[in-house]
Amino acid sequence: MIRTILILIIFVFSTMHCYAAETDKQGRLSQRDLAVELVQSLGWSFGLPDEPENEDYLTILNGRRTWRFEFEDIVIPDAEAPLAPKEILTFGKFSGKNWQRAPGRRITPRLEFLLPLSGRYTIKASLFKPGYQLAINEHELAADGTTNFSKVTFGTIDLTAGRLNAEMTIPSRGGIDYIVLEAPPARNIAPHSGWEFDRPLENRYMAVTALQALELEGLLPGRPETLELEAESAPTPSGAVCCTDLYKGPIKGEWVRSDSGQSEYSHLFEIEQPGVYDLSMNVQGKSPFSGMLNGKDYFKIDPKPYFTEIYSGSFFLEKGTNQIEINIPHRGGLDRFSFRARSSSPDDYLQLAGLADTPTTPEELNRFLRLVAAIGTNR
């Protein structure tokens, strides 16, 4: 598979026809040009507003997929489905300017909102009273509230980025405050120092974003340093226990087993040298493990019924304290996890991407855009 990708990369790079990209008065491209054209080339522009600002492009590239909409901001006014804005705290605290209450009859107002990124979203809302229905993307979802505001779940469905329309049926005298859409974050795409839109574009920045977008950082040269952490060296999460059973496969010391539903494991660790690291976990179970690194890099793996060390992705880690959070499924086991270092200097990225350490020309930017569009991403 990797050989096929590399052949395709060489082929695309060697058969490009270039266009003249826009440049500044000195004939230079900026990091903003890279961000804008990357979003366009990968077909992510559906999640942009009609007149996008810099922040809109950053929203798509950083991969965050948790969106909260105040109900008064997304409901379409309709005399047939009137809603009254309320500020009273009788039913509990609310967010935003106010909350919306239905009259003495059931109504179905229409909603419209912009979803920046596609994904499989869990839809929640803060509301009270039973009897709500949400019609969205050809799905009919239902949820019931209680006597006071509480966050309830309608369900989990696939949604495509862009401007979405929905209908919310609200029971007589029901009230709703906000709607939340939650999905695991997508891969963050950014130069290691962060986006600086006014900064001249150089190949070193383009190489980093190229390998991130194509998920090829795992091809950077390996280094001998490996940080190995035992699961039992961090506090045992609620609903989990430490075990020494050996019948589940090869382990070192104790391992952590989730006995009561899903357990949320967290471990702080120190990194001496910033760079890209391969994450591997020795786990066992029948349901997927998922987790986050530093609250932004998401990973998910399918374990085997016995302990097996599984590669979970390559991620950039900063020097100093880092955090890994792992969702251990019911009856799943976590023995240890390790971070194997990779050489990730600007020269390493440039060499793997086949670029010189020079300012980016319009021709090189075009090659990059055509490359990532041809191969595509899993994001």
Give dist(CA 285, CA 290) in Å, integer: 12
- Contact assessment for residue 84 and residue 109, using Cβ atoms and an 8 Å cutoff: no
Q: What confidence category does residue 102 fall into, taking pLDDT thresholds of 50, 70 and 90?
A: very high
pLDDT score recorded for residue 10: 45
More confident residue, 363 or 22: 363
Estimate the crossing angle of helix 31-41 against helix 54-61, to 10 degrees: 60
Give dist(CA 296, CA 301) in Å, integer: 17
Give dist(CA 316, CA 344) in Å, integer: 9
Q: 33 in helix, strand or coil?
A: helix
Give dist(CA 294, CA 301) in Å, integer: 18
Q: Which helix (H) or strand (E) holds 134?
A: strand 132-136
pLDDT score recorded for residue 66: 96
Under DSSP, the state recorded for 294 is T
Give dist(CA 245, CA 168) in Å, integer: 51
Q: What confidence category does residue 20 fall into, taking pLDDT thresholds of 50, 70 and 90?
A: very low
- pLDDT, tens digit (0-9, with 9 covering 90-100), for 221-254: 999 999 999 999 999 999 999 998 877 788 888 9
User: What are the backbone angles phi and psi of residue 20, rounded to the nearest 5°?
Assistant: -90, 105
More confident residue, 1 or 157: 157
For the segment 161-187, the average pLDDT, to the nearest whole number, is 97
What sign does the CA torsion over 18, 21, 24, 25 have? Answer: positive
Query: Amino acid identity, residue 146?
Result: T
User: What are the backbone angles phi and psi of residue 213, rounded to the nearest 5°?
Assistant: -60, -40
pLDDT score recorded for residue 247: 73
Q: Which domains does the chain have, with CATH numbers?
A: 2-62+195-205+349-375 (no CATH), 66-182 (2.60.120.260), 222-342 (2.60.120.260)
For the segment 4-17, the average pLDDT, to the nearest whole number, is 45
Give dist(CA 97, CA 77) in Å, integer: 17
Is the model's pLDDT at 13 over the cut of 80?
A: no
- pLDDT, tens digit (0-9, with 9 covering 90-100), for 22-80: 555 456 899 999 999 999 999 999 999 999 999 999 999 999 999 999 999 999 999 99
What's the token pair of residue 66?
């948790």
| Residue closest to 248 by CA, chosen among 285, 301, 302 | 285
pLDDT score recorded for residue 333: 96
- pLDDT, tens digit (0-9, with 9 covering 90-100), for 298-351: 999 999 999 999 999 999 999 999 999 999 999 999 999 999 999 999 999 999
